[in-house]
Structure 1
Amino acid sequence: MAGIFINYRTGDGDQAAVALDGELLKVFGKSRVFRDRRSMKEGTDFPPELRRELEKSTVLLVLIGSEWLRLKDERTGRRRIDLAHDYVREEIRTSLEQRKLVIPVLLDVDSVLPAADELPEDIARLSQRQAARVRVPYLPTDVKPLIKELRQHVPEKKRSRGSGKGREGGGGTYIEKAERSVIAQRDGVYYENAPVAPAEPAGRVRFADPANPAKPKSAKSTKSTKSAKRKGAS
C-alpha cells in the first residue's frame, strides 16, 4: 500500500513529527501514514517492523531541525548520523537506494539542508533533494504545499457515505462547527440548504419583526384588514 513514512531524529524533531503526523492523518488516514511511536504497539519487534513499513511506503519525509546534524551519541561521542546503524541514516539510505520520493522537511527558520560533504557518503544525495519548510507554530499554513505534493503520490483516505458537511444524518439540524453558506437578505438571514419551513395556513402572510428581524410575526392578510375596517365604519 502506498504510504508516507516519517523519519525524524529523537531530540530534534519529536514534537514536529507528532504535529505533522496529525495533519497528514486528516488527509491520508492511519493506514497510509507511518510514525513509529504511534503506529507500533507495545512489544513490537522494532527493527523488522520498521523495515516492513519502509518497504511499503512510497514517500520518506526527513524531518530536519537545527540540531539534526550535530546531535551526538552519548556513548561514543560521535555524531549520530555517522553511526553505521543509526535508524535515521538507515531509513534515508534505504529509501534513496529504492528510488523512493525523499523529501527533506526543514523545521526551523534557521534549519538548513546539509551539504553533501557534511553527510555520510551513502546518504550524501539527500543534499540534492528539494526541501520543504514546515514550521511547527505555522503548521496549518506551511503544510498545505507539502500535502498538495503528497497527494500526487499517495491516495487520500476514503470518506464514508453521507458524511457531507452541514447536517446530521436524519436529524435535519446543523452541525455546530460545520461551515454554513449564508446569504444576507434585507429582513434577515437565510441559511442555504436549510430545512424548509412548514407552509403557512391560507389567508396569512409572514412579516419580519422590526425589533427582531430573525423572528417573524404573523398578521392578517390585507384583504381581511380592509374588510374589518369597512365593517367597523358601517
Structure 2
Amino acid sequence: MPEIFINYRTGDCEQAAVTIEHDLSRRFGRERVFRASKSIRPGDNFRDGLSAASSGSRVLLALIGPNWLTARDHNGNLALANENDWTRVEILNAMRSGARIIPILCGRTMPRLSAASMPSALARLADLQSLRYDTGNAEADLNRLAAELVDFVPGLVDRTAEQTEEPSGVVNSNSGTVHGSLTQLRDQYGGFTATFHGPTGPVSTGSGDQQVVYGDGNAYIDGKNSDGINQSFGTKREPEEDR
C-alpha cells in the first residue's frame, strides 16, 4: 500500500499534483506514492482503489488551490459540502485512520485555510501546519517536502540525495607491493598530482608549496617542489619475512 497519498481536486492544482507525484516517485519509488490517474489501473474499481489507498496511507498531502473552497458539483452545490465528494471523502478517510495530513498551499499568495470557511467535518484542516508549493520556488519547496516525508514515514529514503563526504586529512596510496606506509598528502589547498614509477621511485609531483621529509617508504610533502621526489622504500622483504 502506498505510504503517500496525493489528494487534489480536478480543476484545482492538477499540474501541481502531477509535478509533486513525479518528484516524490523519483525520490522514493513509484509504488510508494499514490495519485489516482497513475495508480488506479484500467478496469480497476476506482471507488475501491481510492478508499483503500486514502485509508491505508501514512501521509495524505491535501493540495489546496484557489478553487478548492469554491468548487461546485454538477448540481451547483458547494463540492466540499457533498458527502460523496471524493476530495472530501479521501481526507476524512485519512483522518479516521490516523494518517498525518499536510495541507499544501499551491501558489505564492494562497492564504491559509480558515475553519469558518469550510464544512465542519473538515474544519480541523485549518489548524494543521501547512507547506507551500510555488512554481517559482519549486526546487526548494519539493526538497522541503521530501525532507519532511523522510521524517514522517519509517523506512522512507530519498535515493536522489547527494552523498557527500568530508575530505580526509591524509591520503594513503600504494603502488604495487609496498611494505610499510606511504603518506602522500595531509592538508591540500589546490591541486596535487603524484605519479609513482615503481616501488623504489621516483615519485613525480606537481608544483605547489611542499616540504620533503625522507623515510623508509614515507613522504610528507609541505613546501615547494618542481623537480620531483626520488623515493626508496627500504630493502625489499622476502615473503618468509612477512608477519
Q: TM-score category by the smaller chain? A: 0.5 to 0.7
Contact 1:65-1:111 within 8 A present in 2 as well: yes
1:47 equivalent in structure 2: 47
2:107 equivalent in structure 1: 108
List aligned pairs for 1:68-147, cutoff 5 A: 68-73=68-73, 75-147=74-146
Evaluate the alpha carbon distance shift between residue 203 and residue 41 of structure 1 in structure 2; reply closer, same or farther with a 3 A threshold: same
Counterpart of 2:63 in 1: which secondary structure?
Answer: strand
Q: Per chain length, whose mean CA-contact separation is higher, i.e. which structure has more relative contact order (CA < 8 Å, sep 6+)?
A: 1
CA–CA separation in structure 1 for the residues paired with 2:66 and 2:112: 10
Q: Which runs of 5+ in 2 are unaligned?
A: 165-187, 208-226, 231-243
Contact 2:106-2:133 within 8 A present in 1 as well: yes
List aligned pairs for 1:29-44, cutoff 5 A: 29-44=29-44
Contact 2:133-2:141 within 8 A present in 1 as well: yes
CA–CA separation in structure 1 for the residues paired with 2:205 and 2:108: 58
Q: Deviations over 1:34-78 (max 9, x none)?
A: 1111112222210001111122211110000122111222x3112
Contact 1:19-1:136 within 8 A present in 2 as well: no
Once the two structures are TM-superposed, the CA of residue 15 in structure 1 deviates from its matched residue by 0.5
1:5 equivalent in structure 2: 5
Query: TM-score if structure 1 supplies the norm length?
Result: 0.67
Evaluate the alpha carbon distance shift between residue 121 and residue 25 of structure 1 in structure 2; reply closer, same or farther with a 3 A threshold: same
Q: Deviations over 1:159-216 (max 9, x none)?
A: 6xxxx89xxxxxxxxxxxxxxxxx763xx576xxxxxx9844788775779xxxxxxx
CA–CA separation in structure 1 for the residues paired with 2:33 and 2:23: 10
- The amino acid across from 1:52 in the alignment is A
CA–CA separation in structure 2 for the residues paired with 1:71 and 1:199: 73
CA–CA separation in structure 1 for the residues paired with 2:205 and 2:59: 60
Once the two structures are TM-superposed, the CA of residue 2 in structure 1 deviates from its matched residue by 6.3
Q: Deviations over 1:104-135 (max 9, x none)?
A: 00011221233112111211111111111111
Once the two structures are TM-superposed, the CA of residue 20 in structure 1 deviates from its matched residue by 0.8
- The amino acid across from 1:56 in the alignment is G
User: May I ask how many residue pairs the two structures share in their alignment?
Assistant: 187
CA–CA separation in structure 1 for the residues paired with 2:192 and 2:77: 67
- The amino acid across from 2:39 in the alignment is S
CA–CA separation in structure 2 for the residues paired with 1:80 and 1:16: 20
List aligned pairs for 1:144-223, cutoff 5 A: 144-154=143-153, 155-157=155-157, 185=190, 199-200=196-197
Evaluate the alpha carbon distance shift between residue 124 and residue 39 of structure 1 in structure 2; reply closer, same or farther with a 3 A threshold: same
Counterpart of 1:151 in 2: which secondary structure?
Answer: helix
Q: Identity over the aligned pairs, expressed in percent? A: 33
Query: TM-score if structure 2 supplies the norm length?
Result: 0.65
Q: Deviations over 1:11-46 (max 9, x none)?
A: 111110111112212332112111111112222210
